[in-house]
Chain A
Amino acid sequence: MIVGEQKKIEEIWEMIQGFKKILVFGCNTCIAVCHAGGGKEAEILASLLRMKAKQEGLDLEIKDLAVQRHCEPEYFEPVMEDVRKYDLVLSLACGVGVNFLSERIGNIPVYPGINTEFFGGVPQPGFFVELCAGCGDCVLHLTGGICPVVRCSKSLMNGPCGGTNKGKCEISPDVDCAWFLIVERMKQLGTLEKLFQVQPPRNWAGGTHGGPRRVVVEHVRTLEEQESK
């Protein structure tokens, strides 16, 4: 899932200055699971902003709304007429949602109320960890299912470096050394010798370094095109 955190209220308050009619727009998928930007959080944030406006003697109209997903048009199109009544949308979706809505809303700005953090898992309630970089060239079969690109602070493909300290990363005693984990995991799987081979330089072009990425699923596209004819 995509993990995000709500921006600090001070930053949001600064951002919305000058707007009169504001919609706090939540997304009920990933960002709701991480307690940052679902319908409930949108309601709370809208109410906090109204209180602050009142304290400051400002006459603002601040409402909230949420849909299941901001990354597919079918989820927000039914409410777009309502959304367009505002002069600012403060989106509590991830960055994908902000981009996606911005391109479709017309003459109204969409501002981010969320800092989109990473693709992560939820080992315990309220605790999220980054586990995938979305690098476009997965090597998890070589590293025991532990991602060296995002879980190693240096994205080493031939780790560990000299900074491993008691199984922890040099950046912090709170951060596990990914390569320590990889070595242990490969031992457990009986495949340590896979790590003896030097991995060549990667092709990062499939990741965030080759320009904006697109995925085309041909059979779905073909069906879609046939239907539209």
Chain B
Amino acid sequence: MKSGSNLEKVIASGNPAVTAELGPPMSADAHEVIKKANQLKGFCDAANITDCQTAVVRISSIAAAYIALKEGLEPVMQMTCRDRNRIAMQADFLGAAALGLKNCLCIAGDHQSFSAAGRLKGHPGAKNVYDVDTCQLVGIMKKMRDEGLQQGGDKLEVAPKFFIGASWTPMGDPIDFRPYNLKKKVDAGADFIQTQGIYDMELFKVQMEKARNLGLHERTAMLAGIIVPKSAMMLKYMDSSVAGVTVPKELINRMLKAKDAAGDDKKKAKELQEQEGMKITVELVKQALDIPGVKGVHIQAIEWESAIEHIVKAAGLYPRPVFSE
């Protein structure tokens, strides 16, 4: 075992892995994290704790991950390259490991200009860091874990033992380069990969085949990302505006049909769309797990953590495997 994390154990056991996502709140409210952690606990093998997603200030990933851990939910802390230089990153790895965290997802992070969206003022004038990028961050973590060395070369008496993750946008462009982009992350040392949300399973199959041809599925655990759709509007938005995401017309139409079935009753329209969204998610989860080389799913129910229980059960992925310490 590289880290001994629950996620690593599930993957090593050959069971399909399930990860979920927990978004920390925009205030110092630990109860929000505790509530969400308890909604997810038992229904996933580990939950990603986002690191100021969309560049919005929230409880830090490490702090929220520690709260989740105390609640009995295994966290996957996230670290963006946007906010820290290599000194802060490594200091945080040491601290996180000392607190008992065992998984980390390395990501570039949304640009700070994203933070001023909708009604939020955000911090679009912030200075970003990008001292290192995702591949380099993965490499730094691996060097710390496997060689007991800091990036600069200084020795670590006690090395932080993380199960190292990276993200992949399989359908982003330039699409023919994406498999190589994945290979670089695997070469750098990514133990597991969580993909961008996938709705177009056929296209994902094509990209997975290319990844398999490079032998990547044997060197890393591929977890297919599924973002639970809440409404037809959300699917349309994701299709038109989110990089690397395309949503087949058929799925949008199914959600529109669910919405229309409620007539003028807005509350019912919300309910019916949410039900259809969960149904679509369950289908996508099953389809993804049928693709050769896919070792699990990363189900993101954004600000809707309570949906995970139903989805995981309906997909036949409950109960989750349990391992002794």
- Residues on A close to B: CB < 8 A? 153-167, 170-172, 180, 183-184, 192, 195-202, 204
* A162-B243, A170-B111, A198-B139 known; A156 vs B133 contact (CB < 8 Å): yes
Binding site of A, secondary structure by majority: helix, strand, loop or mixed?
loop
Inter-subunit contact A158/B111 (CB<8 Å): no
CB distance from B180 to the nearest CB of A (A): 6
* A154-B133, A165-B244, A201-B131 known; A160 vs B111 contact (CB < 8 Å): no
Interface residues of B in 107-129 (CB under 8 A from A): 108-111, 113-114, 128
CB distance from A96 to the nearest CB of B (A): 22
A-B contact pairs, 23 of them (CB 8 A): A154-B109, A156-B134, A157-B136, A158-B134, A159-B133, A160-B172, A160-B174, A161-B133, A162-B243, A163-B110, A163-B243, A164-B172, A164-B174, A165-B173, A166-B173, A170-B243, A184-B174, A198-B135, A198-B136, A198-B139, A200-B136, A201-B139, A201-B140
Chain B: CB-nearest residue to A173: B241
* Cα–Cα, bound, A204→B86 (Å): 11
B196 is an interface residue with CB less than 8 A from chain A: yes
Our pick among A196, A197, A201 for the contact of B86 (Cβ within 8 Å) is A201
Inter-subunit contact B174/A180 (CB<8 Å): yes
* A163-B110, A164-B173 known; A199 vs B135 contact (CB < 8 Å): yes
Q: Report the interface size class on chain B.
A: 35 or more
Q: Which of B157-165, B181-189, B298-306 contacts A (4 or more CB under 8 A)?
A: B181-189
* Cα–Cα, bound, A172→B133 (Å): 20
CB distance from B126 to the nearest CB of A (A): 13
* Cα–Cα, bound, A159→B180 (Å): 11
By a CB distance below 8 angstroms, the chain B residues around A195 are: 177, 180
B149 is an interface residue with CB less than 8 A from chain A: no
B169 is an interface residue with CB less than 8 A from chain A: yes
Inter-subunit contact A160/B181 (CB<8 Å): yes
Inter-subunit contact B173/A180 (CB<8 Å): yes
The total number of A-B Cβ pairs within 8 Å is: 97
By a CB distance below 8 angstroms, the chain A residues around B244 are: 162, 164-165
CB distance from A75 to the nearest CB of B (A): 34
* A196-B180, A198-B184 known; A158 vs B133 contact (CB < 8 Å): yes
By a CB distance below 8 angstroms, the chain A residues around B135 are: 157-158, 198-199
- Residues on B close to A: CB < 8 A? 81-82, 86, 108-111, 113-114, 128, 130-136, 139-140, 151, 167-169, 172-174, 177, 180-181, 183-184, 187-188, 196, 243-244
By a CB distance below 8 angstroms, the chain A residues around B131 are: 201, 204
- Shortest 7 CB-CB distances between A and B: which pairs? A162-B169, A158-B135, A165-B243, A161-B108, A156-B133, A155-B130, A201-B136
By a CB distance below 8 angstroms, the chain B residues around A184 are: 174
* Cα–Cα, bound, A199→B187 (Å): 11
* A162-B244, A198-B188, A204-B131 known; A154 vs B111 contact (CB < 8 Å): yes
CB distance from B214 to the nearest CB of A (A): 10
By a CB distance below 8 angstroms, the chain A residues around B177 are: 160, 183, 192, 195
By a CB distance below 8 angstroms, the chain B residues around A155 are: 130, 133
CB distance from B25 to the nearest CB of A (A): 24
Inter-subunit contact B136/A154 (CB<8 Å): no
By a CB distance below 8 angstroms, the chain A residues around B243 are: 162-165, 170
Chain B: CB-nearest residue to A155: B130
16 new A-B contacts, CB < 8 A, other than A153-B111, A157-B135, A201-B132, are A154-B109, A154-B128, A157-B133, A158-B136, A160-B172, A160-B181, A161-B133, A162-B169, A163-B108, A163-B243, A164-B169, A166-B173, A180-B173, A198-B136, A199-B136, A201-B136
By a CB distance below 8 angstroms, the chain B residues around A180 are: 173-174
CB distance from A88 to the nearest CB of B (A): 29
By a CB distance below 8 angstroms, the chain B residues around A154 are: 81-82, 108-109, 111, 128, 130, 133
By a CB distance below 8 angstroms, the chain A residues around B82 are: 154
User: Which among B168, B172, B183 has the greatest number of chain A C-beta atoms within 10 A?
Assistant: B172
By a CB distance below 8 angstroms, the chain B residues around A198 are: 135-136, 139, 184, 187-188
Inter-subunit contact A196/B183 (CB<8 Å): yes
By a CB distance below 8 angstroms, the chain A residues around B140 are: 201
Chain B: CB-nearest residue to A157: B133
CB distance from A165 to the nearest CB of B (A): 4
* Cα–Cα, bound, A161→B114 (Å): 15
* Cα–Cα, bound, A183→B114 (Å): 25
By a CB distance below 8 angstroms, the chain A residues around B133 are: 154-159, 161
* Cα–Cα, bound, A58→B140 (Å): 62
By a CB distance below 8 angstroms, the chain A residues around B109 are: 154
